[in-house]
Structure 1
Amino acid sequence: MKNSHPYIHEYQSAVTNYMEYLNVIAKHLTSEEGITGIPLDFHIVPCLLSKAPPPLHIYTSPPDKPQTPVLAFVFCGKFLPPSFFHRPVAVCIRAWPICQERGQCCLFNGLAIFTVNDTYTLRICYMDYIIYARIVCCSENEKVYNFIWLFQEVRRKLKKSLKDFVHLSSSVFEECIQCPGMKVSLHNEWLFIVKQFKYKNAIACPVCNPNSVTRSNAMKHWFKERLDRIETDDE
């Protein structure tokens, strides 16, 4: 706001609060803040961040680490303005500390990594009209399945941030799971619409050929509660 019109400075607090409400800017949550509740005295503007250094997969698919399958929000009409991605990033900035990896703060334009607990990190990025999310464990011996409740919480927060922004029905985007057999996430490859598994127990996948992606493998991390309901109805 340094070079803004004088009346902007006069109403700085109101302008800042409104921009926070719109998720255009966000205050950074640190580990210490999570304990004390004291906010930092600066804001982050996601749309002004620099691009992540290549290759992207070292951030999104770190090797030899327990991790969830990739959750994808695929926008209908193949249209996703960058501002749609900046909103969930702003929500995450307020919810979790930004992760430090390879000697740098992992907050970039189009990619962000957050520390969601002592051993798990959330990695979100977007390309074209798809927003991707994956949770990775820093401990090689950790059982990813032990934190199913955490994955549900993260997914709901991301989905809500998108729905709150578009103010439309869920048909604006589809929730998809990328083939769990893919070790490195590839853009727009082998994405399965989650709601299809309500009626199908398995779907063929070229990556898993000659096998298929089962309902359980596709849904047991990000959609465990929904999976339990479907399987109960099938009994």
Structure 2
Amino acid sequence: MAESTHPHEPHDSSLASRLNWLRAGVLGANDGIVSTAGLVVGVAAASTDTDAILTAGIAGLAAGAISMAVGEYVSVSTQRDTEQALLKQEKRELAEEPEFELNELTEIYRGKGLSEQTARQVAEELTAHDAFAAHAEAELRLDPQDLTNPWHAALSSAVSFTLGAILPILAILLPPTQWRIPVCFAAVLVALAVTGSVSARFGRSDPRRAVLRVVIGGALAMLITYGIGQLAGVSGL
């Protein structure tokens, strides 16, 4: 007997959610790379003091990771509160107006192209099985068992930002003094090209445009902070 689903076409309801988190992780790493690179390049342009560069890099990493985590927590908490309010309202409507809700579900499936009779049958069968889950999915596009988790989002953002920030810190500290800034520029631009390409693949967009945008943006950020560092003190080059 033929398989009901193609082995290369996953139908897990949480797949889209996981891909969104993965894409957010890539973007978080990208933010960590760019912001920390700009900071350490600016300091390195003003001073050759390794301790000053390291301190600036670690401070930027910590501040950025905390900011990303807090911002993501607040944002996702607000989203979760909204989702829970919508689900609570839907549950109340099902208890108070079951017939109206059944008709509403029928119309949703009619709008998807089913005939009146088939749509009604589908709505009745889904309602008999789990009315709340059926309406949550069809009307709100939510899975009551798989709501967004603000703690997961905060941790993911903090970790991805930290991993991204580590690269420019190492790239600016490990080479000899005269090679610090050129090596950091090169390493950061390569890393941004990778994150831009991965992000584009998740979004199914043209990777060349995505890579070009993120590389140009990162290069501009470092050039600007390098110029500020040059103005603020003696360059280490």
TM-score bracket for the superposition, by shorter chain length: under 0.3
Structure with greater contact order relative to length (CA < 8 Å, sep ≥ 6): 2
As a proportion of its length, which structure holds more strand?
A: 1
Normalising by the residue count of structure 2, what TM-score does the alignment of the two structures yield? 0.24
Normalising by the residue count of structure 1, what TM-score does the alignment of the two structures yield? 0.25
Larger Rg: 2
